Structure 1
Amino acid sequence: MSSRKDKKIVRKSRLIAFYLPQFHPIPENNEWWGKGFTEWTNVAKAKPLFPGHYQPCLPADLGFYDLRVPETRIAQAEMAREYGIEGFCYWHYWFAGKRLLERPFSEVLKSGEPDFPFCLGWANDSWTGVWHGCPDKTLIEQTYPGRKDEEGHFYACLEAFSDERYITVDGKPAFYIYSPQKLPEPKRFFDHWKELAVKEGLKGIYFLGNGNLSDHANDGYDGMVQPNPGLTFVKMRFPPKGVNYNIYKEIAEQVLAQQSALRTLLKRAFSVLRLHTPEAEEPTVFLYRDFISLALPGISADFDEYPCVIPNWDNTARCGCRAHILLDSIPELFRRHLREAIEQVSHRVPDKRIVFIKSWNEWAEGNYLEPDIKFGKGYLEVCRDEALINE
């Protein structure tokens, strides 16, 4: 009898998990939210909003970690590798030359540890107080000053792009953009960066956007990571305040009359979402089992589209009574969700059998793979079982 270690491990899919580098204090958060603030501040004080509501969501094996500690980053990577995650997509923040939350990734880059694949995802949104009850407060604005700033941004990323651990597609470093619709002149931006990349000895850049191909077909993206329509529905308070439900439904169905897939999603969404207008201080609750039936509409056979799966979601820690909640998420339901996504990319060459997972450690959004006190490593075990094959 051979042990697990004696067997050859074959990867069915490239699982890339989004990674939040927030769990350490920074001067800006000290100023905005109080000295010592991190996401753990909100996580620890969360309370259940109704009977049976799982809050607070608390970490198990890794504890309330500080990402300035190298041993923590190594433990995360070792755990991710053991359970089938190929790499992390670190959220990257660039505000016209100013960087935030960069320390954990910078130390990973400089130290060479952990020896675990990574790529960067540019969270190109302004920071506001919307998640903390201050929706009109802009903390730092995302701007796009032009070519000089683009060049500075590229060279700030070049060391990462050149690192042998960096995740590539078609031999090119993968760079993900969270809000494609906010990037002015995307094709010109991409051409500029690709020109700089070739000049520096790279094959180019493989640009990924978060969005639908139909919205960005002419923008120059190399691939798109599908936004999750199920989560989009959850985040929308149907129907809008003051709008008659039946009229709203009729208008929406007329608009989507020629789009059969979206029409199916819409009808399903209306059947499971609350059929009344939530009060301002009432959470929006959606069953996870219904969510996964909406979550993966299918990917293009002619363009590099990639699915994104979500194990759980509950941002009560950030939003309190205004939270959006996927209720009754359990590992076995996530298994169905992940299995479907892996199947969608199974026909591709191995390099492009990519499935994104949102997220590795978004604890304040109740959106994580890391072990918690309720399910332990349940979600990670699903990843291992579905993504790896022992031969």
Structure 2
Amino acid sequence: MEESGGRMIRSSSPGLTDRRLWSALMTGPHDTAERVLRLEEEVQKLRREVAEREGLIAIAEAELTQRRRRMDDLFCELERQSQALDALLNSRSWKLTSPLRLAVKAARKFRFFFGPAHRLNEARAPAVPRAADAGESLEQALQNVLARMGGMRYVHRVSDSVNADKLDVKAVAIYYQDFSATSGQSAWSSVAAAAPQYAGQYQPHLPGELGFYNVSAPGVLARQGALARQYGIYGFCFWGMGPAVSQLISNPGIDIKFCVLLPDELDSSLLETVARISRDPRYLRIDGKPVLIVCDEASSLGVKDFKLPGFYLVAARSHSGKHPDPSQVDAVLDFPFVPSIRLEAASEYAPHDVHFRGRIYTYSSLVEACTRREPDFVEFKTVMPGWDDEPRNPGAGCSLAAATPELYAEWLRDACRRTILRRPEERLVFINAWNGWMDGAHLEPDLKFGYAYLHATANVLRYFHRDEDTQKLVGNINAGFKRASDAAIILHCHYEDLLAPIFDEYISQTRDADVFVTVRTDISRAAVEELRLRRRNIRILCNENRGRDVRPFLFALREVRALGYEIACKIHTKKTPNWNHGPGSLWRRNLLEPLLGSSESIARARAIFQREPDVGLLVPAGSITDLSIPHIHVLNVYWLDRLLARMGRADLIGCYAIDFPAGSMYWFRVAALAGLDDVVLKDDAFEPELGQVDGALAHAVERLVALYAQERGYGMKEVSFHRNPR
């Protein structure tokens, strides 16, 4: 069947089986083909069951986490009550009233002789809430918590990268050398042994991909440097002279800039060593001078005893009460050392142990303390992904509670916006730290967040990408664009490595459509050249990396509507895997193939829209999904509820009886989605890109596209435009 209408109708050609294999099977016995169909249906059924069970497991795990937190709170309350009881039992008044308590105890022996009075007393006991009420309250609270999490969980490593050399702001990460051959084992043991001291504290921090490494081991620094460069880090600032510096100097192939911060008192031999390594072409320079950072205690001595005319001298101000004299140095590094900063204690976090001697602050309080007015001298900003030195000080650590990749990204963005106002040579922002595992401050991936902090770093730095040559090339391509059809293909390109495959296999064979490509602002020149090579008449729309493929699509929708296009096809470079649909590459193929799998795809889509004027969306066969399934909507209720109210469909809040095309690829009648951009972009509340797998505004919009078309009088229909339709 070429296309199908209605939610339960499926294409007669196999959705998940390779077409060549299917063709071979069809030439065999008829019963073999039927058996394959039955097996495929069974596999689909099992996948749906697994997906539903995974959703239930996720809900159960979230409920378990809530109950564990409640247990922690009850434990703290028990500790407080025990302390109060101990104080009472040891008090003088307790001892003086001992005879009275003996009399009361004797009187209680006669209580059960007074049956009616006893039953009356029991009847007055407060009623226990019904289990159903408690369950409903818990479910609602759970949905709210999950929704506000924004799908923020473990973030995997991505394949795309940020070119630090093209950024107007250069990010330099502090690199600690605690984990060497001599001290590494004891340091990692302390990191792994750290225990949470209060409810919600994230301990221990355990490393992910890089493992419990030794900075002296061959290859470690090369892997770290490659990872840092992939995510936009311009260089490392080594804390002191150590084995990592030696590794870098002896390996000229490690592509990363560097400088050093000397935390100790300066002496002539140390400065001679720094002068020697600063001749390395990778050493960080400002105005042609190698950057040398000294701590505030050392800077006064250093400036007084050593003139240091050949260095760009930076004094690190650690908020310890000692302030370097800006007139004696070229710049100051604002380096917040949490234990020495005066912050308001976070009273909402109660330690488990009454003997806890540490301090608990909130991450947001540190951010507020560090985002003050700009001084009248050059001051490099330092941001931190977190702080918790429990491994260094067991039971007496200083920690920042409630640190998240989102808050870190906001702080980094603010620091970059301040930094961009300085002259280009001094646009440095520091991050403490790359690998501060002993202090709970690290960009390196861990087992809880994965690459979330690196992901947040890269996507903040993308805002400050500038490549004038590439921008000029995009402008020249767009200047030559002319509308030549009533149909458009809108491709969102996030993964540049998929441009050529998608064009070669799908778009290049469809000549009767104009092509719009939405891209990140930091798209490479090579990718732009690739687009021009494969399509001369093409329009490239650059957007900030926010809102996944949905936000760029809304801006493209405005443009195709203004240019008078009648129909369009929305596709994107999908790599995300899915329980129902398999690996990202397989899911991408099973979405693209039904939409653009034939040279006649555009003609067939146009024919359906002309023949059936009430159809607004043509979606891939098998993609229609029921939003009312709990695990499909539970992470999205926050934005779903707000968008439904804005669309005038508040009656659907809670039940979510809506069908939508999973995967966010479809043909659409432009009139069916006209105005959707205005509804969603009214506030433009799309979150920063932090690797969210679900629960963001983009995911909610994706689930309401078909409903929006329905409200305008248009339905949705499944199609399958394969090359060899049956």
Same fold, TM-score > 0.5, yes or no: yes
Mapping of residues 294-333 of structure 1, within 5 Å:
294-300=369-375, 302-333=376-407
**C-alpha distance in 2 between matches for 1:273 and 1:232:** 19
Check if 1:65 corresponds to 2:213.
yes
Residue identity opposite 2:411 in structure 1: H
Which residue of structure 2 aligns with residue 103 of structure 1? 243
**C-alpha distance in 2 between matches for 1:46 and 1:308:** 26
Q: Which secondary structure does the structure 2 equivalent of 1:56 belong to? A: coil
Inter-CA distance 373–8: structure 2 relative to 1 (3 Å threshold):
closer
Contact conserved, 1:43 with 1:364, CA < 8 A, in 2?
yes
Which residue of structure 2 aligns with residue 291 of structure 1? 366
Residue identity opposite 1:18 in structure 2: I
State the 1:69 CA deviation.
2.0
Which residue of structure 2 aligns with residue 206 of structure 1? 312
Check if 1:224 corresponds to 2:335.
no
State the 1:19 CA deviation.
0.2
Contact conserved, 1:223 with 1:303, CA < 8 A, in 2?
yes
Q: Could you say which structure has the higher helix fraction?
A: 2
Unaligned 5+ residue runs, structure 2?
1-158, 466-521, 524-726
Q: 1:159 aligns with which of 245, 254, 276?
A: 276
Q: 1:176 aligns with which of 267, 287, 293?
A: 293
Size of the alignment, in residue pairs?
303
Normalising to structure 2: TM-score of the pair? 0.39
Q: Which secondary structure does the structure 2 equivalent of 1:104 belong to? A: helix
Residue identity opposite 1:222 in structure 2: D
**C-alpha distance in 2 between matches for 1:122 and 1:54:** 30
Inter-CA distance 52–363: structure 2 relative to 1 (3 Å threshold):
same
State the 1:272 CA deviation.
5.2
After TM superposition, which residue ranges in structure 1, 4 or more long, deviate above 6 angstroms?
A: 5-9, 273-276
Contact conserved, 1:231 with 1:295, CA < 8 A, in 2?
no
**C-alpha distance in 2 between matches for 1:121 and 1:85:** 17
State the 1:370 CA deviation.
0.4
**C-alpha distance in 1 between matches for 2:279 and 2:370:** 35
**C-alpha distance in 2 between matches for 1:4 and 1:56:** 30
Mapping of residues 350-365 of structure 1, within 5 Å:
350-365=424-439
Unaligned 5+ residue runs, structure 1?
30-35, 94-101, 125-141, 195-203, 237-268
Check if 1:380 corresponds to 2:536.
no
Which residue of structure 2 aligns with residue 123 of structure 1? 263
Inter-CA distance 230–344: structure 2 relative to 1 (3 Å threshold):
farther
Deviations 1:342-381 (A, max 9, x none): 0111112222111111110010110111001111111111
**C-alpha distance in 2 between matches for 1:7 and 1:49:** 40
Inter-CA distance 354–75: structure 2 relative to 1 (3 Å threshold):
same
Check if 1:18 corresponds to 2:124.
no
Which residue of structure 1 aligns with residue 357 of structure 2? 282
Check if 1:86 corresponds to 2:237.
no
State the 1:313 CA deviation.
0.5
Contact conserved, 1:209 with 1:225, CA < 8 A, in 2?
yes
Structure possessing the higher relative contact order (Cα contacts under 8 Å, 6 or more residues apart)? 1
Inter-CA distance 319–271: structure 2 relative to 1 (3 Å threshold):
closer
Which residue of structure 2 aligns with residue 112 of structure 1? 252
Q: Which secondary structure does the structure 1 equivalent of 2:166 belong to? A: strand
**C-alpha distance in 1 between matches for 2:198 and 2:293:** 37
State the 1:118 CA deviation.
0.5
**C-alpha distance in 2 between matches for 1:14 and 1:273:** 37
Deviations 1:133-179 (A, max 9, x none): xxxxxxxxx5x6xxxx42x222212221100000011111001112x
Inter-CA distance 7–83: structure 2 relative to 1 (3 Å threshold):
closer
Q: Which secondary structure does the structure 1 equivalent of 2:360 belong to? A: strand
**C-alpha distance in 1 between matches for 2:161 and 2:415:** 27
State the 1:58 CA deviation.
0.3
Q: Which secondary structure does the structure 2 equivalent of 1:42 belong to? A: helix
**C-alpha distance in 1 between matches for 2:175 and 2:162:** 31
Contact conserved, 1:284 with 1:324, CA < 8 A, in 2?
yes
Residue identity opposite 2:175 in structure 1: Y
Deviations 1:205-259 (A, max 9, x none): 01111127993336611100113387643xx5xxxxxxxxxxxxxxxxxxxxxxx
Contact conserved, 1:229 with 1:295, CA < 8 A, in 2?
no
Contact conserved, 1:230 with 1:292, CA < 8 A, in 2?
no
State the 1:271 CA deviation.
7.8
Q: Which secondary structure does the structure 1 equivalent of 2:391 belong to? A: helix
Contact conserved, 1:24 with 1:38, CA < 8 A, in 2?
no
Which residue of structure 2 aligns with residue 341 of structure 1? 415
**C-alpha distance in 2 between matches for 1:8 and 1:85:** 6
Greater gyration radius: 2
Which residue of structure 2 aligns with residue 262 of structure 1? none
Give the root-mean-square deviation of aligned CA atoms. Answer: 2.9
Contact conserved, 1:229 with 1:294, CA < 8 A, in 2?
no
Mapping of residues 139-158 of structure 1, within 5 Å:
149-150=267-268, 152-158=269-275
Residue identity opposite 2:314 in structure 1: L
Contact conserved, 1:121 with 1:177, CA < 8 A, in 2?
yes
Residue identity opposite 1:60 in structure 2: G
Inter-CA distance 217–39: structure 2 relative to 1 (3 Å threshold):
same
Contact conserved, 2:216 with 2:243, CA < 8 A, in 1?
yes
**C-alpha distance in 2 between matches for 1:317 and 1:182:** 27
**C-alpha distance in 1 between matches for 2:246 and 2:449:** 32
State the 1:61 CA deviation.
1.2
> Is 181-190 or 109-118 further displaced after alignment?
181-190
Check if 1:75 corresponds to 2:223.
yes
State the 1:90 CA deviation.
0.5
Inter-CA distance 279–185: structure 2 relative to 1 (3 Å threshold):
farther
Q: Could you say which structure has the higher strand fraction?
A: 1
**C-alpha distance in 2 between matches for 1:232 and 1:273:** 19
Inter-CA distance 342–185: structure 2 relative to 1 (3 Å threshold):
same
Normalising to structure 1: TM-score of the pair? 0.70
**C-alpha distance in 2 between matches for 1:82 and 1:364:** 24
Q: Which secondary structure does the structure 2 equivalent of 1:86 belong to? A: strand
Deviations 1:268-296 (A, max 9, x none): x44856899x9873321111123222222
Deviations 1:50-92 (A, max 9, x none): 2322111001111111112222111100111111110000011
Check if 1:215 corresponds to 2:330.
no
**C-alpha distance in 2 between matches for 1:7 and 1:20:** 24
Q: Which secondary structure does the structure 2 equivalent of 1:73 belong to? A: helix
